[in-house]
Amino acid sequence: IEGAIDEYPGKHEKRVVTLNYARTNAILGTPINSETQREILLRLGFDLVSDDVGADRATFAVPTWRIDVKRDVDLIEEIERVYGVEKIKPSKPRGVIGTHPFDEVYDQIQEARRILCGLGLYEAQGQSLISVKAASLVLPLEHCVRVANPLSIEMSVLRPSLLPGLLDSVRVNLHRRNPSAALFEIGKVFARGGTELPVKEERMLGIVMVGDRWPVFWEGADRAAKFDVFDLKGVIEEFLISYGVKGVSYEENANPSALFYDSCLVLLGRHRLGEFGILSPQVARIYDFREVVVLGELNLDLLMRLRSREKKFESLPQFPAIRRDMAIVVPENMTHEQVLKVINAHKPSILASVEIFDVYRGRNIPEGHKSMAYAFTYRASDRTLTDQEVNRTHEELVRIVLMKLGATLRA
């Protein structure tokens, strides 16, 4: 039989790749003229299909045995290999630092995390989806955002608060025999909005504390002390001061949600920053808690808008301080915040600080009243104060406090 038989069921078309000569120089970081680039590829078996001199580019047909060559960067790699890597001069790395509007927000969130961790709290990370039962403890269901096709009944509502998730974390810790927990979480919460904005999102900060105030120790009067609402208030106060939010006031919440047994509002002027208080006993039974749980939530988006990022430094005092005390008898419903408002409204220039150090109820105090004792620290920045000057200032301030509050001095 004469001739040849070629079994070739499908003809293999050659792949073509277009090379931009300027792109080769940009990637390699060294100038290689177009003639040299073209000659290297032709020597390696690439066929020149077209050469567009005006556009500084050419199209090559890839040999069938070079199945690894698919893009222009593969051609550039071949040029680099033949031209010689040693001929390409090294250059310093060029970094590009971009900016984004979220960068500043992220930095502020990280600062909040750093402060809270420094106060002894651990960060928790919860789910954005919670159950209908948990969501109803915080917000009426008609104001919650429900998922159309939930995976389960336990993940059917977008969380309206961080607190249910934090309570779940505490329950897991307690069931794992970790009876003490001080946790915080930063995340977004969701609620139904208006017609223009169907879903409202806000970034919040949640805190929950339960168990022993101090680590286990072998002696000490406070070694069995438990977290209470004043520990939480102290954490919130210290966080706000460190975060640059000053002038905050506290007011009893007349209508707390079902989550709280008793709660307090955190206010800055007309702005409501958040709420904190004691967990409701009914909710505590749902979560199987046997100890008092204190919890709170702050609007972090609002805090980032209202905070002052300016840092101020005051030199250490050079002159001694003088302390004077005041014990007043007031009605039972009188709060420390009310007393401080009067003092701050008439604060003398030499008054450095005011601290409450005792609250007493009992013998020699009328029923329905209590005694509140305060320590006043007086100091001048430019001189040593005399007893006569401090006594005169202190007596006038005490007179104003008694008049404004309708209080009496405790004998």
Residues 284 and 369 placed together within one structural domain of the fold: no
Residues 106 and 215 placed together within one structural domain of the fold: yes
Q: Where do the DSSP E strands lie in 269-395?
A: 271-279, 293-299, 322-331, 351-360, 369-378
User: What is the model's pLDDT at position 96?
Assistant: 64
Residue 311 included in any domain: no
Domain boundary among 30, 62, 87: 87
Sign of the alpha-carbon torsion through 172, 178, 179, 181: negative
Average pLDDT of the residues in 169-175: 92
Residues 191 and 289 placed together within one structural domain of the fold: yes
Angle (CA) 280-284-287 rounded to 5° is 145
Residue 235 included in any domain: yes
| Residue corresponding to tokens 């000569």 | 21
Residue 206 included in any domain: yes
Please state, in angstroms and rounded to a whole number, the distance separating the CA atoms of residues 353 and 31.
Answer: 72
Question: Which tokens belong to 89?
Answer: 């001069």
* 29 Rama sector, left if φ>0, alpha if ψ -120 to 50, beta otherwise: left
317-349 pLDDT per residue, tens: 899 999 999 999 999 999 898 999 999 999 999
Count the domains in the chain.
3
Evaluate if residue 55 carries a pLDDT over 80: no
Residue 332 included in any domain: yes
How would residue 4 be classed by pLDDT, with cut points 50, 70 and 90?
confident
The answer to whether the beta carbons of residues 25 and 19 sit under 8 Å apart is no
Average pLDDT of the residues in 387-394: 95
Sign of the alpha-carbon torsion through 23, 24, 25, 29: positive
358-375 pLDDT per residue, tens: 999 998 899 999 999 999
61-86 pLDDT per residue, tens: 999 888 899 999 999 999 999 999 98
User: What is the model's pLDDT at position 124?
Assistant: 95
CATH number, position 60: 3.30.56.10
Domain boundary among 58, 87, 116: 87
For the chain, give the percent of residues with pLDDT over 90: 64
Residues 258 and 115 placed together within one structural domain of the fold: yes
Residues 194 and 298 placed together within one structural domain of the fold: yes
Q: Which helix (H) or strand (E) holds 209?
A: strand 199-210
- Find all residues with CB under 8 Å of 37, minimum gap 6, and list them: 19, 21, 24, 79
User: What is the model's pLDDT at position 95?
Assistant: 67
Angle 34-43/72-83 helices, nearest 10 degrees?
90
HEC profile for 148-177?
Answer: CCCCCHHHCEECCCCHHHHHHHHHHHHHCC
How would residue 351 be classed by pLDDT, with cut points 50, 70 and 90?
very high
CATH number, position 383: 3.30.70.380
Evaluate if residue 247 carries a pLDDT over 90: no
Residues 343 and 393 placed together within one structural domain of the fold: yes
On average, the pLDDT of the chain sits at 90
For the chain, give the percent of residues with pLDDT over 70: 97
Residue 123 included in any domain: yes
Residues 371 and 283 placed together within one structural domain of the fold: no
Question: Which tokens belong to 289?
Answer: 């808690």
User: What is the model's pLDDT at position 29?
Assistant: 86
> Pick the residue with more confidence: 134 or 5?
134
Residues 228 and 169 placed together within one structural domain of the fold: yes
Angle (CA) 97-99-101 rounded to 5° is 160
Residue 373 included in any domain: yes
Q: Which of 160-164, 196-200, 267-271, 343-347 comes out lowest in average pLDDT?
A: 196-200
176-191 pLDDT per residue, tens: 989 899 999 999 999 9
The pTM (predicted TM-score) of the whole model is: 0.70
Assign 336 to helix, strand or coil. helix
Please state, in angstroms and rounded to a whole number, the distance separating the CA atoms of residues 267 and 341.
Answer: 13
Residue 316 included in any domain: no
Residues 297 and 170 placed together within one structural domain of the fold: yes
Domain boundary among 46, 61, 87: 87
Residues 261 and 201 placed together within one structural domain of the fold: yes
Q: Which of 58-67, 213-222, 247-256, 312-321 comes out lowest in average pLDDT?
A: 213-222
Residues 290 and 268 placed together within one structural domain of the fold: yes
Please state, in angstroms and rounded to a whole number, the distance separating the CA atoms of residues 47 and 72.
Answer: 14
CATH number, position 249: 3.30.930.10
Residue 312 included in any domain: no
Evaluate if residue 392 carries a pLDDT over 90: yes
Evaluate if residue 411 carries a pLDDT over 90: no
| Domain interval for residue 296 | 101-306
The answer to whether the beta carbons of residues 146 and 178 sit under 8 Å apart is no
Residues 199 and 287 placed together within one structural domain of the fold: yes
